[in-house]
């Protein structure tokens, strides 16, 4: 006798749903093999995952900073809708959003058992608060082990996290190894299905420490350095500097003067390959336990990272180096071996998973399901990817163009087909008025002020004045670090 799935008991329907393995990598830019962001990078495990699923070549974060980006992924709301632009606040502290149903909570409502380890949200905010998000928690993200003293003395306060290099330690002692091990142990236990297992790796976030064997994958010469254009910032608005005005991440000038540019690049590449190996351990456990066929795997990073491009290092920018991230879906309901060049947003993960798992839609989510592209990578997409960093600063990334609008009204426009490095700003060229108008219409209608409790990396532009982290910026001041 045929029984409609809609008539099955909720528990029975839940048992038929796919599992979800949700893998996040911190500060991982497009230096991933399948993305082609660096010609020498070695990420065989992520590349194999991309080959057995649908790999998005044009995926972008909602914010180039950890807390707002991860809050957006997990709530399905844009930073410009929540006002969460900085490293604080935790969205549950805001009256308006404390009852928002997050992705793990929504899955739990529909019978999923939630496990989490490492960095998924930005910080734990106390174990009790995370208990409302996940049923079981593993080790938190950590940069340990670290050397007794910093390896590189850096400007802007010699911040303890801004460091890189190698020192005698073991891979097995690293925080990301322990995170992967916890995830592997859960999979080896063959957890109650359906499950949502979120695994958040810390590296290649600074400090970029790796053991020597990972450094040895990359030559100790200038072939590892990214391609740059001297004077690249001459045609960009001064306002672009305000987004990272006085941050602890170093400028290219410091790296070159201290002969540290190559060391930092090799450190980042080494950490990327190490994390890839840990992704491989988790994926191997998934397959070994017979869970691969019924598990949707989603791999993503919260934002990109500069390593000398645009004369800076770090995040906090609205260019491709700051926003482009790996995004891969693989598993049931997903066409394998696909490469999609349509724009995608991390905001799309939540609605995509709800549709893949055949859960009721949530109209309040601001992203759009990627299911059409997961079934046919050539399917056209109406929406570009929109990245926001502090109020009034937005990037619109379509298939072939990047448009940036700053809070003071200044703009940038790049043809990504002929200028993939974004070296030539076309916003002042009268021949591109149509493209400017086309992209301006996607700027967010809602552009909230910073949420109460906002702090760290907060920029406010009001009445023609720039206030950066509580201090007014002199418009004639020299740009720090140059």
Unique residue bearing structure tokens 């608060």: 129
Unique residue bearing structure tokens 């960093």: 389
Q: List the beta bridge partners of residue 6.
A: none
For the chain, what's the residue count?
482
Which of helix, strand or coil describes residue 348? helix
Q: Is the CA virtual torsion 467, 468, 469, 472 positive or negative?
A: negative
61, 66, 271, 357: the catalytic one is 66
Please tell me the distance from the alpha carbon of residue 58 to that of residue 301, in angstroms, as a whole number: 13
Element (H, E) at 349: helix 349-356
38, 45, 60, 122: the catalytic one is 122
The DSSP string of 376-412 is: -TT---S--EEEE-STT-EEEE-SSEEEEE-TTS-EE
Please tell me the distance from the alpha carbon of residue 24 to that of residue 119, in angstroms, as a whole number: 8
Provide the phi-psi class of 461: left if phi over 0, else alpha when psi is between -120 and 50, else beta: beta
Is 159 considered catalytic here? no
Please tell me the distance from the alpha carbon of residue 416 to that of residue 277, in angstroms, as a whole number: 31
Is 66 considered catalytic here? yes
Please tell me the distance from the alpha carbon of residue 152 to that of residue 88, in angstroms, as a whole number: 28
The DSSP string of 310-340 is: GGBEES--SSHHHHB--EEEESTTS-TTEEE
Please tell me the distance from the alpha carbon of residue 29 to that of residue 345, in angstroms, as a whole number: 14
The DSSP string of 407-464 is: TTS-EEEEETTT-TT--S--TT-GGGHHHHHHHHTTS-S--PPPPTT-BSS-EEEETT
Residue numbers annotated as active site: 66, 122
């Amino acid at each position: 006798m045929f029984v409609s799935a809609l008539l099955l008991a909720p528990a029975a329907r839940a048992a038929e749903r796919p599992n979800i393995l949700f893998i996040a990598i911190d500060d991982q830019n497009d230096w991933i093999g399948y993305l082609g962001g660096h010609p020498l990078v070695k990420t065989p495990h992520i590349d194999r995952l991309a080959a057995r699923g649908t790999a998005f070549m044009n995926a972008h974060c909602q914010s180039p900073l950890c807390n707002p980006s991860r809050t957006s992924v997990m709530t399905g709301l844009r930073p410009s809708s929540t006002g969460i632009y900085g490293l604080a606040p935790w969205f549950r502290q805001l009256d308006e959003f404390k009852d928002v149903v997050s992705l793990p909570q929504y899955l739990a409502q529909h019978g999923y058992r939630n496990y989490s380890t490492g960095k998924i949200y930005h910080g734990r905010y106390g174990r009790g608060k995370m208990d409302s998000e996940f049923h079981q928690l593993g080790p938190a993200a950590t940069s340990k082990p670290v050397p007794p003293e910093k390896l590189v003395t850096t400007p802007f306060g010699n911040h303890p996290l801004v460091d890189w290099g190698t020192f005698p330690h073991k891979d097995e002692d690293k925080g990301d190894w322990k995170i992967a091990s916890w995830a592997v142990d859960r999979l080896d236990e063959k957890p109650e299905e359906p499950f949502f297992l979120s695994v958040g790796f810390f590296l290649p976030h600074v400090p970029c420490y790796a053991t020597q064997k990972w450094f040895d994958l990359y030559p100790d010469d200038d072939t590892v350095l990214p391609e740059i254009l001297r004077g690249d910032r001459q045609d960009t608005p001064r306002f672009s500097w305000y987004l990272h005005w006085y941050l602890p991440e170093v400028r290219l000038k410091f790296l070159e003067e201290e002969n540290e540019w190559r060391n930092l690049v090799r450190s980042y590449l080494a950490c990327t390959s190490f994390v890839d190996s840990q992704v491989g351990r988790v994926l191997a456990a998934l397959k070994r336990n017979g869970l691969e066929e019924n598990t949707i795997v989603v791999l993503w990073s919260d934002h990109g990272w500069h390593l000398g491009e645009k004369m800076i290092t770090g995040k906090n920018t609205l260019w491709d180096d700051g926003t482009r991230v790996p995004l891969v879906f693989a598993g049931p309901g997903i066409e394998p071996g696909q490469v999609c060049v349509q724009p995608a947003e991390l905001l799309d993960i939540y609605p995509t998973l709800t549709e893949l798992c055949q859960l009721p839609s949530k109209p309040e989510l601001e992203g759009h399901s990627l299911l059409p592209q997961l079934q046919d990578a050539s399917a056209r997409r109406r929406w570009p990817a929109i990245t926001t960093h502090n109020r009034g600063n937005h990037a619109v990334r379509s298939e072939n163009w990047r448009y940036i609008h700053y809070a003071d009204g200044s703009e940038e426009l790049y043809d990504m087909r002929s200028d993939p490095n974004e070296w030539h700003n076309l916003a002042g060229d009268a021949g591109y008025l149509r493209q400017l108008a086309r992209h301006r219409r996607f700027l967010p209608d809602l552009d909230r002020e910073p949420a109460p409790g906002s702090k760290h990396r907060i920029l406010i532009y009001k009445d023609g004045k720039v206030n950066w982290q509580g201090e007014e910026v002199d418009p004639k001041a020299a740009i720090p670090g140059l």
